[in-house]
């Protein structure tokens, strides 16, 4: 029954997204792509935060590594989209292994501090290593090649074409992360969040699982970074900045931490809110902070959490 409902919801969302791709204006297309990319970023992030209970403040680093990896691969090697995206995600995964190795030795406060510090290390590397990363100008003018598959090639130059590529990646990510949540690995991560000592005493090396969660999470951030780069065609070091790391945190919190759909709902809200607020003021980050503050002080279940509470109350009524 419950699973049935999930399938219907998923098919409905897919239909709406395909509909947007076929019939919408360029602006709506662009916003929807940003929603999907942010969703991948936030869902991946939530594997670490909502599932494993580790609050990272440096996740933008992996987004940025994904973006830079893709850009560099596209500039110096080849522009095949699948190759450059693979390069971006792989680079992010590699960084996540290295940084994660240090960070997962600690939890909670130390973990948050370390991820922030290492995230800013990545930021400073991108800022300083001018010859490779272009310094504060970043890398720009990255073109999208066609996806050639031997016999034929799928062009993704136009936004209306690229949209379906992003949609494909989004769908695959949702499916993958959903499978991870249902899997033994996903259960172990939840166990670590609930009680890491007991998990250790169940015969599981908690650090290794934390590291695995960190890397999986970082890889999705890298994928999001790759897609984001191909959408905007440029990237600056600020992609790795800690204020960007705050985005998936806010998105997850807005949508609801301990729910699967939370980050997706949160992404929609985030992009729409940002678009609206930026029309009236230049100080979007101030509002960002205020929304975060309001959620922490009063609405910790997020939108999905609040809705499900409402629904439950409604259905329990005679």
Partner 1 sequence: MNPTLLEVRDLNKAFGTVVTARNLNFSLQSGVITSIIGPNGAGKSTLINILTGLIAPDSGEILFHGRDITREPIARRVRWGLCRSFQVANVFGHLSLFENIAIPVLAVTRKATSFLRSTVRDKDVRREVESVLNRIGLLKQSHVRAGALSHGDQRLLEVGIALAAKPSMLFLDEPTAGMNPVERTRILQNIRELSDGGEVTFAIVEHDMDVVFSLSERVIVLHRGQIIGDGTPEQVKASPQVREVYLGEEVAE
Partner 2 sequence: MESFVHVCLAGISAGMFIWLVASGLTLIFGVLRVLNFAHGSFYMLGAYLCYTCLRFLGIDFWLGVIVGPLAVCVVGYVMERFLLRRVYDLELPYQLLLTFSMVLIFDELVKIIWGAGSIGSPSVPGLSGSLMIAGRNFPVYNLFIMIVGPLVAVGLWAFLERSWWGKIIRAAASDREMAAAIGVKVPSLYTAVFVIGAWLSAVGGALAVPYVGLLTTGMGEAIIINAFVVVVIGGLGSLKGAFLGALFIGLLSSFGTRYIPTLDMSLTFILMGVVLLWRPQGFFAGVDR
What are the residues binding partner 1 (CB under 8 A)?
A: 176, 179-180, 182-188, 190-191, 194-195, 197-206, 209, 212, 216
Which secondary-structure segment (H or E) carries 140? strand 139-140
Contact with partner 2 (CB under 8 A): which of 187, 290, 306, 309?
Answer: 290
List the x/- string, 1-40, binding to partner 2 by CB under 8 A: ----------------------------------------
Interaction of residue 292 with partner 2, rule CB under 8 A? yes
**Closest to 234 measured CA to CA, from 148, 144, 122:** 144
**187 or 285: CB nearest partner 1:** 187
**Closest to 236 measured CA to CA, from 140, 138, 141, 143:** 138
**Closest to 81 measured CA to CA, from 168, 148, 33, 173:** 148
Q: How far is CA 54 from each of CA 115, 155, 204, 309, rounded to the nearest angstrom?
A: 10, 40, 17, 25
Contact with partner 2 (CB under 8 A): which of 2, 279, 297, 318?
Answer: 297
CB 126 within 8 Å of CB 133: yes
Contact with partner 2 (CB under 8 A): which of 286, 306, 309, 310?
Answer: 286
**CB of 127 vs partner 2, minimal distance in Å:** 9
- CA atoms within a 13 Å half-sphere pointing along the CA-CB vector of 231: 24
DSSP letter for 49, please.
I
Interaction of residue 128 with partner 2, rule CB under 8 A? yes
**CB of 244 vs partner 2, minimal distance in Å:** 12
Contact with partner 2 (CB under 8 A): which of 140, 148, 183, 283?
Answer: 283
Interaction of residue 253 with partner 2, rule CB under 8 A? yes
Interaction of residue 83 with partner 2, rule CB under 8 A? no
CB burial of 221-244 (b: ≥16 within 10 Å; e: otherwise) equals bbbbbbbbbbbbeebbbebbbbeb
Which of these segments, 84-92, 169-177, 215-223, 280-288, binds partner 2 (CB under 8 A)?
Answer: 280-288
Interaction of residue 249 with partner 2, rule CB under 8 A? yes
Interaction of residue 102 with partner 2, rule CB under 8 A? yes
**185 or 238: CB nearest partner 2:** 238
Burial class (CB in 10 A: 0-12, 13-18, 19+), 32: buried
The span from the CA of 96 to the CA of 73, in Å, is: 19
**Closest to 177 measured CA to CA, from 61, 10, 18, 55:** 10
The span from the CA of 247 to the CA of 159, in Å, is: 24
Residues that bind partner 2 (CB under 8 A): 49, 53, 55, 57, 102, 105-106, 108-110, 112-114, 116-118, 120-121, 124-125, 128, 242-243, 246, 249, 253, 283, 285-286, 288-290, 292-293, 296-297, 300
């Amino acid at each position: 029954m419950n699973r049935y409902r999930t399938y219907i919801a998923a098919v409905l969302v897919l239909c709406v997204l395909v509909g947007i791709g076929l019939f919408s204006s360029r602006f709506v297309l662009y916003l929807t792509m940003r929603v999907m990319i942010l969703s991948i970023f936030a869902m991946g992030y939530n594997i670490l935060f909502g599932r494993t209970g580790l609050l990272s403040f440096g996740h933008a680093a992996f987004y940025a590594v994904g973006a830079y990896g893709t850009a560099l691969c596209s500039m110096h090697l080849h522009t095949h989209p699948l190759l450059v995206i693979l390069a971006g995600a792989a680079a992010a995964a590699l960084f996540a292994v290295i940084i994660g190795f240090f960070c997962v030795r600690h939890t909670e406060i130390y973990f948050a501090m370390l991820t922030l510090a290492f995230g800013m290390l990545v930021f400073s590397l991108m800022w300083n290593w001018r010859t490779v990363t272009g310094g504060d100008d970043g890398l720009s003018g990255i073109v999208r090649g066609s996806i050639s598959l031997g016999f034929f090639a799928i062009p993704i130059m136009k936004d209306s074409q690229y949209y379906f590529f992003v949609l494909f990646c989004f769908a695959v990510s949702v499916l993958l992360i959903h499978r991870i949540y249902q899997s033994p690995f996903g259960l172990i991560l939840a166990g670590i969040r609930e009680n890491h000592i007991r998990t250790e005493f169940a015969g599981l090396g908690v650090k290794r699982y934390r590291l695995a969660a960190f890397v999986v999470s970082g890889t999705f951030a890298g994928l999001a970074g790759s897609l984001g780069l191909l959408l905007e065609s440029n990237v600056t070091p600020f992609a790795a900045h800690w204020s960007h790391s705050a985005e998936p945190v806010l998105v997850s919190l807005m949508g609801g931490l301990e729910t699967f759909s939370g980050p997706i709902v949160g992404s929609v809200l985030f992009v729409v809110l940002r678009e609206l607020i930026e029309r009236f003021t230049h100080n979007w980050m101030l509002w960002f902070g205020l929304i975060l503050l309001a959620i922490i002080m009063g609405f910790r279940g997020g939108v999905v959490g609040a809705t499900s509470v409402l629904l439950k109350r409604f259905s329990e009524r005679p």
